[in-house]
Amino acid sequence: MKDLSYKNKKLVFSKTDISSVAKKFKTPFFLYSEEVLTKNYETFSDGAKAAGLIDPLVCFAMKSNPNRELVKILAKLGSGADIVSVGELKRALGAGIPAKKIVFSGVGKTAEEIKFALKKEIYSFNVESIEELELINHLAKKSKKKARICFRLNPVVKPKTHKFISTGNKTHKFGILEKDVLDSLKNKSLWTHSRLVGLSVHIGSQLLDLRATGQAIKRLSEIALKTNIPLEFLDVGGGLGVDYHPDESKSLPQISEYMNLVHKHLQQHFYSKTDLRPRVVFEPGRRIVAKAGIFVMSVLRNKVSENNHFLIVDGGMNDFMRPAIYGAYHGLMPVKEAKNEVRCHVVGPICETTDCFASDRPLPKLKAGDHLVLADTGAYGYSMGSNYNLRGRPLELLAKKNKELKVVNKPQKYEELL
């Protein structure tokens, strides 16, 4: 059963009738579901355990949605965090995620960020260059600490995904090549106040074809063995996709399939060759939160230019960027079910041609004031938004399990920007 579907012609998101919410709150707004979020996290985490993966640690990729209330829910469920800035680190700690469950990724960590993370004693720095390691080692010495280091390996694989969100090859700024990982281990001066405790890969996002994931885990295993260090953990990154388009539903890897694939490759390339049993770390973002959120908009007006029917809505690319920057498909569902009669370009108010949520999309005839939902917008939605065109950021709402509707981020008034 889908979490977003019609019941008696009314669009319902995990038991919440959207039209009643849209009557109470001014659009546009994001609406999240505690129930879906919880279900997604638990399916992921239980799946890892069921596949026999060792002491799995799920570090939610905060960049996908750092909303405080959502992170609090995940913290209570036992989640860790994958962070890329001191802002995300403070948010994770503030929401109750312990430092010992936090991994810090990113190619551009600043000295201030590193110092703060050292002070908090995070689980690991997922290091993306040798110069970064030098700096961490130096700062650890100054603060009389021993930094826990995980090298993010660049496994040189080519995942099948949009090129803007592919990260595991030589031309990408991410990760360190095998040779540089192994060479650095010989240089004792890099390790006076640092210790290699893990190895990680993250090859890209929105992955539905898992062949490259398998190859990356093979490379991770091989190089982990070549380090000759008893690593505490192997971090297989995030990247597992969701079915944004109905055609993707058939090829969508189930969590059990994904976990079995991780286990199979670790078994074949690591466990069968050593007695070491490092824990397995995951960094999922999208798979946990994309389907736990929708974006509710109102129709402002229709505009028909010869064969082009524009449906102009009050949400814009500043609120939700994915269609504009990746040409991403997202479902569009009117809050009241009706027969599709027109093919529309659904566009926002922003002065950019790419401010378009869908082109030639079959939809019912809608008029000013009707509500329309952009589906699967819980991940990389609000977190990538901006104030472009001097628009305030939208409201975020959470439908709690007890059916209470909670404002989890007030809308920003444009006046605050003046």
Residues known to be catalytic: 351
**Total of chain residues touching ligand LLP, rule CB under 6 A:** 22
Q: Is 202 in the site for ligand LLP (CB under 6 A)?
A: yes
Which of 278, 323 has the CB closer to ligand LLP?
Answer: 323
Which span (42-50, 265-273, 376-384, 404-412) binds ligand LLP, by CB under 6 A? 376-384
Which of 262, 363 has the CB closer to ligand LLP?
Answer: 262
Q: Considering the complex, what minimum distance in angstroms separates the CB of residue 399 from ligand LLP? A: 22
Q: Considering the complex, what minimum distance in angstroms separates the CB of residue 105 from ligand LLP? A: 4
Distance of alpha carbon 113 from alpha carbon 140, whole angstroms:
12
The burial class, CB within 10 Å (0-12 / 13-18 / 19+), for 365 is middle
Q: Which of 285, 334, 385, 394 binds ligand LLP (CB under 6 A)?
A: 285
Tell me the backbone φ, ψ of residue 323, rounded to 5 degrees: -60, -40
Distance of alpha carbon 262 from alpha carbon 214, whole angstroms:
7
Q: Is 165 in the site for ligand LLP (CB under 6 A)?
A: yes
Q: Which of 109, 263, 291, 322 binds ligand LLP (CB under 6 A)?
A: 322
Site string for ligand LLP, 4-43 (x = CB under 6 A): ----------------------------------------
357-360 contacts at long range (C-beta below 8 A, 24 or more positions apart): 357/313, 357/315, 357/320, 357/323, 357/330, 357/332, 358/323, 358/329, 358/330, 358/332
Beta carbons within 10 angstroms of residue 169's beta carbon? 17
Which of 28, 238 has the CB closer to ligand LLP?
Answer: 238
Site string for ligand LLP, 253-282 (x = CB under 6 A): ------------------------------
Tell me the backbone φ, ψ of residue 114, rounded to 5 degrees: -65, -45
Alpha helices in 187-336 (DSSP H): 211-226, 248-251, 255-269, 286-289, 322-326
Beta carbons within 10 angstroms of residue 418's beta carbon? 6
Which of 280, 344 has the CB closer to ligand LLP?
Answer: 280
Nearest residue to 34 (alpha-carbon basis) of 82, 69, 78: 69
Which span (7-15, 138-146, 208-216, 231-239) binds ligand LLP, by CB under 6 A? 231-239
Q: Considering the complex, what minimum distance in angstroms separates the CB of residue 291 from ligand LLP? A: 12
Which of 91, 322 has the CB closer to ligand LLP?
Answer: 322
Beta carbons within 10 angstroms of residue 170's beta carbon? 8
Residue pair 41/290 in contact (Cβ under 8 Å)? The answer is no
Residue pair 320/348 in contact (Cβ under 8 Å)? The answer is no
Query: How is residue 197 annotated by DSSP?
Result: E
Q: Considering the complex, what minimum distance in angstroms separates the CB of residue 332 from ligand LLP? A: 17
Q: Which of 284, 293, 334, 394 binds ligand LLP (CB under 6 A)?
A: 284
Tell me the Ramachandran region of residue 204: left when phi exceeds 0, alpha when psi lies from -120 to 50, beta otherwise: left
Q: Is 318 in the site for ligand LLP (CB under 6 A)?
A: no
Q: Considering the complex, what minimum distance in angstroms separates the CB of residue 197 from ligand LLP? A: 17
3-state secondary structure of 264: helix
Site string for ligand LLP, 61-100 (x = CB under 6 A): x--x-----------------x------------------
Q: Is 330 in the site for ligand LLP (CB under 6 A)?
A: no
Site string for ligand LLP, 334-363 (x = CB under 6 A): ------------------------------
3-state secondary structure of 129: coil
Q: Is 105 in the site for ligand LLP (CB under 6 A)?
A: yes
Q: Is 380 in the site for ligand LLP (CB under 6 A)?
A: yes
The burial class, CB within 10 Å (0-12 / 13-18 / 19+), for 141 is middle
Distance of alpha carbon 349 from alpha carbon 58, whole angstroms:
39
Q: Which residues bind ligand LLP (CB under 6 A)?
A: 61, 64, 82, 105, 165, 202, 205-206, 237-240, 283-287, 322, 326, 379-380, 384
